Structure 1
Amino acid sequence: MSGYQMKRAARFALTPSVVLLFIGMIVPLAMTLWLSFQYYNLLNPAEAGFAGVSNYTYFLSDPAFSQAIINTLLLVGGVLAITVIGGILLALLFDQPMWGRGVVRLLVIAPFFVMPTVSALVWKNMLMHPGYGIFAWIAHKLGLPPVEWLSNSPLLSIVMIVAWQWLPFATLIFLTALQSLDTEQQEAARMDGAGPFDRLIYIILPHLGRAVTVVLLMETIFILAIFAEIFVTTSGGPGYASTNLPFLIYVQALLQFDVGAASAGAIIAVVIANAVAIFAIRLAGKNLTA
């Protein structure tokens, strides 16, 4: 069999999977796009009709939309800052020789395998509860009043929960990158009189540049779609204080039953997510080829 025939056979074998994947992506997107131009309320589906761009106008002019965009950006920025800085520090720590290093690494990575709903419930009921949570117990021992985290600082609470989930991922990526660093380079710098801080700034951090780009790219794409943690803990409140864009779409569709406006919001969310992803991919491409 010639090379052309082998390529043709391989394409033929992959065609069913590609077609199914294409249908699974395009059909829901096409239906969402169509519904975004329709008046469609689940409480009165008989009065459905063409709405033009009024759903987009309504969604974009909703005061909750601007708050949701700000919350989404704050959520992404806060989680990225904690995971990148904390991940680098933990990677530097676990790269040092210590007793039981393998067990400690396994324990640090464990939160990444916990389901988001489960981790949110653990944080809500075992850590942040103002009556019997661990944080309230610590505050009581210090003679301080307990903090109602989910009521007084809802967005910060969500950031802490999501950052706890993604910190192991960042640590693992950075630790892998650190282990590929040439030890002879560090030894030469040490012999030339470079201290730990100088080696960190001029050797270690530049070496971690590509790993940082990968972490930023992967986490940004997933954190933009955070939903379960908000649903389980704050339900977007108080008011819209912890509502991000995906949760606002959920409110429009399943609480206010306005499928048309929710579909318009979903299309807007897809556009924003793709714009962020394209920017991140281009940034990653520049750093990875540098």
Structure 2
Amino acid sequence: MSTRQTRVLGRVLTAPSVGLLFVWMIVPLAMTIYFSTLRYNLLNPGTEDFIGLENYVYFLTDPAFLASLRNTLVLVGSVLLITVVLGTGVALLIDQPIFGRNIVRLLVIAPFFVMPTVSALVWKNLLMHPVSGLFAWIATSLGLRPIDWFAEMPLFSIILIVSWQWLPFASLILLTALQSLDEEQKEAAEMDGAKAFSTFFYITLPHLARPITVVILIETIFLLTVFAEIFVTTGGGPGLQTTNIAFLIYSQALIQYDVGGASAGGLVAVVLANIVAMFLVRMVGKNLET
């Protein structure tokens, strides 16, 4: 009886917060669904018309959507590959007993705490500037032609900036996993004559499988919504070369003032993100069961 009363009391006490959270989510979602069925342009207030699913058809058949979807997939896949591979290497490096290891770890993790807008400005003006940037100075010193990164390789530049931001996260997670690795297994492998590469591929890498999966899951959720780096550096250009889905929705809402089309695009992006999240959650679940 007391257990039942405790459960009822717990539900009553949590009901207000759950209800507030539900309203907090459902009201914006309902408004977005409503606006997505309207021809609603901020430049022409009071002329809204119900058009049903036309905004969705227009968004999905727009060549800009296909280009932004491709850019999003390339951006997410490239950043995941770079951060997982380099993160594993950095984690292995700073896990070694070197002098000043704590300071090195702090320096490695530091970029993760820099705001995306600030880091994008630093890369744009101090590192990648074709005239006064550090990379231009190095190229000139070597007798090479400086690269105009955001004009010649815009998407690759965005990938570098975002990878630099997320590399510390991957390194930290993988370093934590390395510290939980049983040293007796490595010592036994070394006694059996296993070389460093064999030890890594047959002992260390399988041990890192789960944390790598977690890194991929968390990073993917955030990388699907990369915006500040694109807005600060390229503005989605040249053309559509660096426009991802998040920036395309922004441009429709606040540059073209098409609230209806942007709302439809936002719902499409939510559906795509949930599909990716479900796939990754299942992948994590299978990995954790093994």
TM range (shorter): over 0.9
Q: Give per-residue Cα distances to partners, 1:217-249, cap 9 Å, x unaligned.
A: 000000000111100000000010000001000
For the pair 1:127 / 2:127, whether they are aligned, the reply is yes
TM-superposed CA distance for 1:54, in Å, is 0.8
Any stretches of 5+ residues in structure 1 without a counterpart? none
For the pair 1:203 / 2:223, whether they are aligned, the reply is no
Structure 2 CA distance for aligned equivalents of residues 279 and 162 of structure 1 = 23
Q: Find the counterpart in structure 1 of residue 212 from structure 2.
A: 212
Q: Find the counterpart in structure 1 of residue 56 from structure 2.
A: 56
Question: Percent same amino acid among aligned pairs?
Answer: 63
TM-superposed CA distance for 1:64, in Å, is 0.6
CA RMSD of aligned residues (A): 0.9
TM-superposed CA distance for 1:9, in Å, is 2.1
Structure 2 CA distance for aligned equivalents of residues 226 and 79 of structure 1 = 11
Structure 2 CA distance for aligned equivalents of residues 47 and 16 of structure 1 = 39
For the pair 1:110 / 2:99, whether they are aligned, the reply is no
Amino acid at match of 2:140: H
TM-superposed CA distance for 1:289, in Å, is 1.5
Structure 2 CA distance for aligned equivalents of residues 137 and 5 of structure 1 = 72
TM-superposed CA distance for 1:17, in Å, is 1.5
TM-superposed CA distance for 1:3, in Å, is 2.1
User: SS at 2:135's partner residue?
Assistant: helix
Any stretches of 5+ residues in structure 2 without a counterpart? none
Structure 1 CA distance for aligned equivalents of residues 7 and 102 of structure 2 = 45
Q: Find the counterpart in structure 2 of residue 281 from structure 1.
A: 281
Q: Find the counterpart in structure 1 of residue 174 from structure 2.
A: 174
TM-superposed CA distance for 1:284, in Å, is 0.3
Amino acid at match of 1:31: M
Structure 2 CA distance for aligned equivalents of residues 176 and 203 of structure 1 = 16
Question: What is the TM-score with the length of structure 2 in the denominator?
Answer: 0.98
Structure 2 CA distance for aligned equivalents of residues 144 and 160 of structure 1 = 21
Q: Find the counterpart in structure 2 of residue 192 from structure 1.
A: 192
Structure 2 CA distance for aligned equivalents of residues 17 and 25 of structure 1 = 12
Q: Find the counterpart in structure 2 of residue 228 from structure 1.
A: 228
Amino acid at match of 2:153: S
Q: Find the counterpart in structure 1 of residue 265 from structure 2.
A: 265
Structure 1 CA distance for aligned equivalents of residues 15 and 164 of structure 2 = 41
TM-superposed CA distance for 1:194, in Å, is 0.5
TM-superposed CA distance for 1:23, in Å, is 1.1
Structure 2 CA distance for aligned equivalents of residues 26 and 263 of structure 1 = 15
Structure 1 CA distance for aligned equivalents of residues 107 and 8 of structure 2 = 48
For the pair 1:38 / 2:42, whether they are aligned, the reply is no
Q: Within 5 Å, which residues of 2 pair with 1:49-88?
A: 49-88=49-88
Structure 2 CA distance for aligned equivalents of residues 239 and 276 of structure 1 = 27
TM-superposed CA distance for 1:11, in Å, is 2.0
Q: Find the counterpart in structure 2 of residue 159 from structure 1.
A: 159
Structure 2 CA distance for aligned equivalents of residues 12 and 162 of structure 1 = 44
User: SS at 2:145's partner residue?
Assistant: coil
Moved over 3 A (4+): none
Q: Find the counterpart in structure 1 of residue 251 from structure 2.
A: 251
User: SS at 2:146's partner residue?
Assistant: coil
TM-superposed CA distance for 1:53, in Å, is 1.1
Question: What is the TM-score with the length of structure 1 in the denominator?
Answer: 0.98
TM-superposed CA distance for 1:95, in Å, is 0.8
Structure 2 CA distance for aligned equivalents of residues 154 and 281 of structure 1 = 32
User: SS at 1:46's partner residue?
Assistant: coil
For the pair 1:18 / 2:18, whether they are aligned, the reply is yes
TM-superposed CA distance for 1:10, in Å, is 2.1
TM-superposed CA distance for 1:27, in Å, is 0.9
Structure 1 CA distance for aligned equivalents of residues 65 and 202 of structure 2 = 43
TM-superposed CA distance for 1:19, in Å, is 1.3
Structure 2 CA distance for aligned equivalents of residues 33 and 152 of structure 1 = 39
